[in-house]
Amino acid sequence: MWKGKMRMEENIKNLMIATAKGAVSVFPGGGLLAEYIGLVQSSIAEKRMADWMEKVEGTLERITQSIDELAKRDDFYTCLQVATTGAMRAYEEEKRILFSNALYHSAVDTNIVTDKKIFYMELLNSYTLSHIRILQYFSEDHFNSEDRVKRQGDMTIREVGGTETPMVGILEHLPEFQADPDIVKHITGQLISDNLLSIIDFSTPVSKEWARRKHITPYGKAFLDFIKNAPYE
């Protein structure tokens, strides 16, 4: 039984390695390009692969199904390939963590059809972490009525009325975008186009409550749930 488990774990590692090699492969070249690719594979790809394998092993430990059971599932095999390809292309560890979360949910969320699981992973592969952070921002209501209450000495002043655009709240909560707010509009437009967010107007000031309300769609929430932290059993 133990030998069988070890053999199945080795098969999964072999699959990941083979997939990773395909993810970083390029058309045959020569000279400086070939030298560069060789150096990249040893200095970057191997480190990413080691990190990804560690994360997958941690994910497998949280899944209640045995390795033998997972080995019989075509859908998990495919999801592992897609996740490995995406993880090897991700230069941030944070994004590899999201892929490991997605791999966990691909195994345990049996109510999601395989095509949708793969689509979610491909969506994650096409998005930057900025996409995920902006989507996460719009998944929450950021209006707090207490923000309108201000103290000046012994006096309490409550602000009434006032308008702003959604950009004000975004830059307040995600200050890394202050140098380039236009990228926020571009990314938000992509998320709207993919039906993850409802339509957002950055040009017309509205009440602070309306400007900071959540704009995520049910589809967007389902995607975030798919890549959220996998719980420890």
The residue among 120, 116, 90 whose CA lies nearest residue 102 is 120
Q: What does the block give as tokens for 103?
A: 């791999």
Give residue 14's pLDDT. Answer: 61
Give residue 155's pLDDT. Answer: 57
Burial code (b: 16+ CB inside 10 Å, e: under 16) for 58-70 equals ebbeebeeebeeb
The residue among 48, 113, 112 whose CA lies nearest residue 86 is 48
Which has the higher per-residue pLDDT, 229 or 183? 183
Q: For 144-202, what is each residue's pLDDT tens digit?
A: 755 554 556 665 555 555 799 999 999 999 999 999 999 999 999 999 999 999 999 99
Mean pLDDT on 214-225: 97
What is the rounded average pLDDT for all residues in the chain?
A: 83
Q: Which amino acid is at 38?
A: G
The residue among 162, 165, 120 whose CA lies nearest residue 145 is 162
pLDDT over 50 at 4, yes or no: no
Mean pLDDT on 191-220: 95
pTM of structure: 0.80
The pairing of beta strand 149-152 with beta strand 155-158: antiparallel
Q: For 17-71, what is each residue's pLDDT tens digit?
A: 556 555 555 445 556 656 666 666 667 778 888 899 899 888 888 888 888 888 8
pLDDT over 60 at 129, yes or no: yes
pLDDT over 80 at 209, yes or no: yes
Give residue 48's pLDDT. Answer: 86
Helix (H) or strand (E) holding 97: helix 93-108
> What is the rounded CA–CA span in Å between residue 109 and residue 232?
15
The residue among 124, 62, 125, 55 whose CA lies nearest residue 93 is 55
> For the purposes of burial, counting CB atoms within 10 Å of the CB of 53, is it exposed (0-12), middle (13-18) or buried (19 or more)?
middle
Give residue 120's pLDDT. Answer: 96
